Amino acid sequence: MKTEATVILDGVGVRRALTRIAHEILERNKGITDLVLVGIRTGGIHLAHELAGRLEEIERAPVPVGSVDITLYRDDIRTQTPVLPVGKTEIPFSLEGKRVVLVDDVLFTGRTIRAAMDAMMDHGRPQCIQLAVLIDRGHRELPIRADFVGRNVPTSRKENIQVRFDEANRPVEVFLEKN
Amino acid sequence: MVFKHKDILGLQNLTAEEIELLLNTADSMKEISKREIKKVPTLRGKTVVNLFFEPSTRTRTSFEIAAKRLSADTLNISASTSAVQKGETLSDTARNIEAMKPDIIVMRHAISGAHHYLAKRVSYSVVNAGDGQHEHPSQGLLDMMTMREKLGTLEGLKVAIVGDITHSRVARSNIYGLTKMGAKVFLAGPPTLIPPGVERLGNVAVCGRMRDAVEDADVVMMLRIQLERQGKALLPTMREYSRYFGLSEDVVKLAKPGVLVMHPGPMNRGVEICSDVADGPNSVILEQVENGVAVRMSMLYHVSGGGPTE
């Protein structure tokens, strides 16, 4: 089958979107007190580091970044044969009382976010969890919405959206594949 | 890379890639035991039966904790309290348990190959927790996980295994696993306790003297002398054994600086290892136990999605 790819957000567009999200996070949370970022493996982790860099630049203080692998929390784990590889979850700080911003590249059915929130709760009881995504492509299957969105992209279920990263794990562009 | 086996019977029939996958998953699982809530929902609704025909505290407890941290339901059956005492055969015991629809059986049995016999006859997954003098794959994996964690790689390591090799399933699983992963294994022990032809297993050398095996080693693994079993007929005295094959601080000095001292437990302090070494700075014996839980979580996770037996 032939696939054609369309770039829907170029490098400049991605950087602008991330800068805007960083400002929105600060506005909503009134600064970086108790703020932590947790990226969802693997695209979300790279974006969380991008956001943390911008937040530090604006506020002149570092924001802790953690990462979560949601494989063990998937709701379709029982039907996966063979089982999926498990990546590392690294949250080297307590989430108790923290304002957690979950970061992912593409928001689709919402099932990944449900799994990530369950994982967060096993690391303590955060004050709140917010969600930042670069792309919201619709088709939610659970009552979940993002607090910060880079761009809303209406898609059909057959299409595929990918965020491409370079070797230094910096976002290069976002493209949409039609099958 | 995916794991396609229904069972884990030993490291002999796993590839280097499969062993690496099990170790990588174990690295990821380790973090769960350090959390406030030490549990993930992955094996919810699955039943894991620990069926132990030989006494064990460490391995059984470790498998039980591993299953519980993955949210599986567990139950323990030990030979002394089961119908085995009344003369039931292994096959009948297994089929009766099968009728209760378990998903995974973790078994220890005194007869080498008992797990292979069982795995062919039942639909659930069989995980070997030690069979006779054959294999103890979870111990081999946790030893390799500890080496890799401390030394960064298994490739090119010099690993000395000292003691009763003949009767040791720990030694066999380590030999199969380590040589597949590119390590060199040096064995030392009394000639009565070294199996003939063991060099044929791969990158394995037999040393007559302990110091030849330990010299420049990255890892020294001491095996337990099984006093209750074969010690008497094959060894003149424990004192003599300890003098020639016991690990003292002087012997440790022959190995590389920073050498890892390992022991699968339970230790006979003052026989195969002296207390100064067992509790010393090179000892990683308690890290082995800690990693055991992570390795067993990885094994249970991977067989839970396994296909038909090969």
Question: What are the pLDDT digits (tens) for A89-135?
Answer: 999 999 999 999 999 999 999 999 999 999 999 999 999 999 999 99
Residues of chain A found within 8 Å of residue B3, distances taken between Cβ atoms: 82-83
pLDDT computed for residue A153 by the predictor:
95
pLDDT computed for residue B235 by the predictor:
82
A64, A47, A143: which is closest to A100 by C-alpha? A64
- Residue A68 forms part of a structural domain: yes
Question: Do the chains contact at B42 and A77, CB–CB below 8 Å?
Answer: yes
pLDDT computed for residue B308 by the predictor:
42
Interface contact B307, partner A, CB < 8 A? yes
Q: What gap in Å lies between CA B56 and CA B130, rounded to an integer?
A: 10
Question: Do the chains contact at B305 and A83, CB–CB below 8 Å?
Answer: yes
Is the bond preceding residue A89 a cis peptide, omega within 30 degrees? no
Q: Determine the angle formed by the axes of helices A11-29 and A43-59, rounding to 10 degrees.
A: 60
Question: What are the pLDDT digits (tens) for B282-304?
Answer: 999 999 999 999 999 999 999 99
The ipTM assigned to this model is 0.89
Residue B270: left if φ>0, alpha if ψ -120 to 50, beta else—which one?
left
For residue A129, the domain's CATH number is 3.40.50.2020
| The two three-digit tokens of residue B37, written as one number | 């809530």
Give the confidence band of B88 by pLDDT, cuts at 50, 70, 90.
Answer: confident
CA angle B296, B301, B302 (to 5 degrees): 100
| The two three-digit tokens of residue A31, written as one number | 């600064």
Interface test mutation site (partner B, options A74, A75, A77, max chain B beta carbons within 10 A):
A77
pLDDT computed for residue B310 by the predictor:
36
Nearest-neighbour CA in chain A from B154: distance (Å): 20
A72, A80, A124 ranked by CB distance to B40: nearest: A72
pLDDT at residue B17 tops 90: yes
Nearest-neighbour CA in chain B from A24: distance (Å): 31
pLDDT computed for residue B97 by the predictor:
87
- Residue A109 forms part of a structural domain: yes
CA angle B21, B26, B27 (to 5 degrees): 100
- Residue A179 forms part of a structural domain: no
- Residue A98 forms part of a structural domain: no
Please, which residues have CB within 8 angstroms of residue B223's CB and are 6 or more apart in sequence? B161, B162, B163, B164, B165, B168, B170, B171, B189, B263, B264, B272
Question: What are the pLDDT digits (tens) for B234-252?
Answer: 888 888 899 999 999 999 9
Q: How many CB atoms lie within 10 A of CB B186?
A: 22
Question: What are the pLDDT digits (tens) for B37-59?
Answer: 999 999 999 999 999 998 888 99
- Residue A167 forms part of a structural domain: no
Interface contact B304, partner A, CB < 8 A? yes
Q: What gap in Å lies between CA B306 and CA B73, rounded to an integer?
A: 19
Interface contact B24, partner A, CB < 8 A? yes
Residues of chain A found within 8 Å of residue B306, distances taken between Cβ atoms: 81-82
Question: What are the pLDDT digits (tens) for B98-112?
Answer: 888 999 999 999 999
pLDDT at residue A169 tops 60: yes
Give the confidence band of B93 by pLDDT, cuts at 50, 70, 90.
Answer: confident
Question: Do the chains contact at B25 and A78, CB–CB below 8 Å?
Answer: no
What CA–CA distances, in Å, run from B229 to A60, B112, B164, B232, B273? 67, 16, 11, 8, 19
- Residue A30 forms part of a structural domain: yes
**How is residue A129 annotated by DSSP?**
E
Question: Do the chains contact at B302 and A69, CB–CB below 8 Å?
Answer: no
Residues of chain B found within 8 Å of residue A73, distances taken between Cβ atoms: 40-42
- Residue A127 forms part of a structural domain: yes
**Which structural domain range is residue A17 located in?**
4-75+86-91+103-158
Per the structure, the count of domains in chain A is 1
Interface test mutation site (partner B, options A69, A72, A111, A122, max chain B beta carbons within 10 A):
A72
Partners of residue B283 on adjacent β-strands: B261
Question: What are the pLDDT digits (tens) for B153-180?
Answer: 999 999 999 999 999 999 999 999 999 9
Q: How many CB atoms lie within 10 A of CB A70?
A: 22
* Backbone angles phi and psi of A102, in degrees to 5: -80, 140
B18, B10, B307: which is closest to B129 by C-alpha? B10
Question: Do the chains contact at B42 and A73, CB–CB below 8 Å?
Answer: yes
What is the four-CA torsion angle of B132, B134, B140, B142, rounded to 10 degrees? -30
- Residue A80 forms part of a structural domain: no
The structure's pTM equals 0.93
Nearest-neighbour CA in chain B from A91: distance (Å): 9
- The mean pLDDT of B202-207, rounded to a whole number, is 91
